[in-house]
Amino acid sequence: MTGSTGVPALEPLVTVTEGGETAFHVNCSTAQVERLVASIDEGGGLRAGGPDAVAEHDPESPRLPSVNLPGLGVGHRRVLGGAGWRRPTEADDHADAGGFDTPEPTAIQDAAVALMGRGWGDICHDESLAQTWDRARDAGGSPVVVVNAHGNPTDTLLLASAPFEVLHGAAAAAQAVGADSVIVYVSDADERAAETVRAAAVNYPKPSVAIDVVTGPAEHRAGEPTMALEAIEGNHRLEARLRPPGPESVGLHGQPTLVHTARTLAHLAVSLREGEAPDTRVVTVEGDVAGPATVELSESETLSTAIDAVTVDGEFKAACVGGRFGGLTGELDIGVAPSALTAAGLGTEGTVQVLADDRCVLEFVGKRTQYAADENCGRCVPCREGTTQLTGLLRDIYDGAYAPGDIEELVRVMDRSSICAFGVEAGRPARTAVAEFESELQAHADGRCPADSCTVAPEVT
């Protein structure tokens, strides 16, 4: 009874392992599972029931083997290794994979130097962890570690399928800064992840820290690290906190607090176990596809490899790379490393949303911007007013007034002056659409939607 592999289109998935081979049976109904079990009981062997694919692997493999099935033949499963292979709440499975070994303090610090935080919910997003940890240690008080698994599909996958990996990374971070409390923070919408990590916390052998699981509102902004702290403290009105000081100095209830995503902490755990930081990025591909897929790619691989993990519904047109406020691109020969994505003006949140050729870029960007105008916390003017004005500028295109310079200037102000990452990133879909899909925006100003999907301009609220 494993968790998801990250490729739900193949599930329910049954694997049958014998020695160094595993047979994969995809989309199994209950009746098919019963027939398969009966067939194996009758001596049918590994290939009983006619598997969809068979993989050869190390008989002691601690991770799901790569196999020639959509989504499972792409990438290198290191952080995702336990997902779909080990039982998520069985501590023995994780121990057999070397998962609970106690690391030396110097090894944890070395790993923190090498590792960059993953995702906008991490206070070290695209930065090394080490200096932030130093500030937490210097702040005194009673440090806390928050596992921020709010909203990102990879973070919730890790909690539901490989929670010990995340908890062990959190325990190591706690050990490094002298924290005796770990709080796992999950969206209200992700019940399965919350339930699984709760059960794993109970089964965690001889925990060196107290582990609690707290849920917060499902709104996108509640994943911002300081708004996550507000939600954990029980505040109903979520607003980002001014920085400095950062949460690592003054965080949860005024105590120094590390806020790291589940991805960051799982990478930390794997780094400590394997003695080196995995040179990988976990990416979820979704949108106009037959089914989403979460894959783990080497940083030298490109977005094109990520798209290979899915079947696009129609012709590929564009990808929104980097979360809800990611950047739009039609070019897939871009590395998945944060340096390459940032250089291309894209986001590093670890998600790729595919847009098929019948999608209108202006409509897509208009909805994202309207969402930002509706959902920002209202604390700072550049984001609160900027997102509303930007929505208006996009709406004006339908009336023939396309002003790319005004859009770029407004996005620049939002980027430079907003208090938190929500406002910094909210203009990115519009900015990249102007840069990459200018002719499509101009066509709307001329009264024509190239995708033939906009008949009515969206309302500005």
Residues that bind ligand SF4 (CB under 6 A): 221, 240, 376-380, 383-384, 418-420, 422-423
β-strand partners of 145: 182, 258
Minimum CB distance to ligand SF4, residue 37 (Å): 52
β-strand partners of 401: none
Query: The tokens 């989504």 sit on which residue?
Result: 71
Minimum CB distance to ligand SF4, residue 244 (Å): 15
Minimum CB distance to ligand SF4, residue 250 (Å): 17
Minimum CB distance to ligand SF4, residue 326 (Å): 17
Nearer to ligand SF4, 297 or 430 (CB): 430
β-strand partners of 327: 321
Minimum CB distance to ligand SF4, residue 380 (Å): 3
461 SS3 class: coil
Nearer to ligand SF4, 129 or 430 (CB): 430
- Nearest-CB residue to ligand SF4? 423
Minimum CB distance to ligand SF4, residue 413 (Å): 12
Nearer to ligand SF4, 213 or 421 (CB): 421
- Nearest CA to 365 out of 438, 292, 447, 290 is that of 438
Nearer to ligand SF4, 80 or 240 (CB): 240
Helix (H) or strand (E) holding 17: strand 14-18
Q: Which amino acid is at 287?
A: G
Minimum CB distance to ligand SF4, residue 227 (Å): 8
Minimum CB distance to ligand SF4, residue 351 (Å): 19
Nearer to ligand SF4, 26 or 419 (CB): 419
The rounded distance, in Å, linking the Cα atoms of 282 and 197 is 20
Q: Name every residue whose Cβ is closer than 8 Å to that of residue 41 and which is 6 or more positions away in sequence.
A: none
Nearer to ligand SF4, 199 or 413 (CB): 413
β-strand partners of 123: none
Minimum CB distance to ligand SF4, residue 224 (Å): 7
Q: Could you tell me the strand order of the sheet in which 293-298 lies?
A: 293-298, 280-287, 351-356, 316-321, 327-329
**The CA-based dihedral angle spanning residues 306, 152, 246, 227, taken in that order and rounded to the nearest 10 degrees:** 150
β-strand partners of 17: 22
Minimum CB distance to ligand SF4, residue 28 (Å): 44
Nearer to ligand SF4, 112 or 419 (CB): 419
Return the structure tokens found at 78.
Answer: 């290191």
Query: The tokens 């952080």 sit on which residue?
Result: 79
Helix (H) or strand (E) holding 108: helix 105-114
213 SS3 class: strand
Q: Could you tell me the strand order of the sheet in which 53-56 lies?
A: 14-18, 21-25, 53-56
Nearer to ligand SF4, 67 or 414 (CB): 414
Nearer to ligand SF4, 129 or 426 (CB): 426
Minimum CB distance to ligand SF4, residue 222 (Å): 10
Nearer to ligand SF4, 92 or 374 (CB): 374
Under 8 Å between Cβ of 295 and 14 = no
Cis amide prior to 62 (ω within 30 degrees) = no
Nearer to ligand SF4, 330 or 378 (CB): 378
Half-sphere exposure of 44 (CA within 13 A, CB side): 16
Cis amide prior to 65 (ω within 30 degrees) = no
Cis amide prior to 245 (ω within 30 degrees) = yes
